Amino acid sequence: MADTVSREVRSKMMRGIRGKDTRPEIIVRKYLFSQGFRYFLHGRNLPSKPDLVMPKYRLAIFVHGCFWHRHPLCKYATTPKTRRDFWVNKLEGNLARDKHSQAQLIDRGWRVCVVWECALRHSQKTTLNELVHFICSDADYAEFSWNQEPRME
């Protein structure tokens, strides 16, 4: 099936996709700040520059888009039909980099949390409350997703 917009329009749309300060990331930042938590943005001294870094809790928080980070079993994690080989390589590379950087953080003694975009779309209040619960817990890893129970280890 052909694209519904011209190449120029599609190119402009893709250029507009942000890597930082995304809507889901800002939702998490505003909520945590309102709850009295303080953090740094995009920790430059850590692997893969987590979206939020909370040194007091030795915690790195990633706010992942379901499409770009290949959220398993999520309806938003589709693969484009055009240039399929390019997209599969790109998106699988993102997934491999995510796993590697999270493992590096854990090896350095950091706790890791992944908040998926779909969790904020469908159950924002619950997700944010569970995130605060995780921050105050002793768990080393958490993942918050809409289609699954929160995973804390």
30 pLDDT exceeds 90?
A: yes
Strand pairing partners for 72?
A: none
24 pLDDT exceeds 90?
A: yes
For residues 135 and 59, the answer to whether their CB atoms sit within 8 Å is yes
Phi-psi region of 41 (alpha: psi -120 to 50; beta: other; left: phi over 0): beta
116 pLDDT exceeds 70?
A: yes
Q: In angstroms, rounded to a whole number, what is the distance separating the alpha carbons of residues 51 and 22?
A: 10
46 pLDDT exceeds 80?
A: yes
Domains of the chain: 19-152 (3.40.960.10)
- Identify the residue with better confidence: 145 or 124: 124
54 pLDDT exceeds 60?
A: yes
- Predicted pLDDT at 14: 67
- Predicted pLDDT at 2: 59
Q: In angstroms, rounded to a whole number, what is the distance separating the alpha carbons of residues 153 and 142?
A: 6
Helices 23-34 & 124-135 angle (0-180, nearest 10): 60
41 pLDDT exceeds 80?
A: yes
pLDDT tens readout for residues 78-98: 888 888 999 999 999 999 999
> Residue 115 belongs to what H/E stretch?
strand 111-116
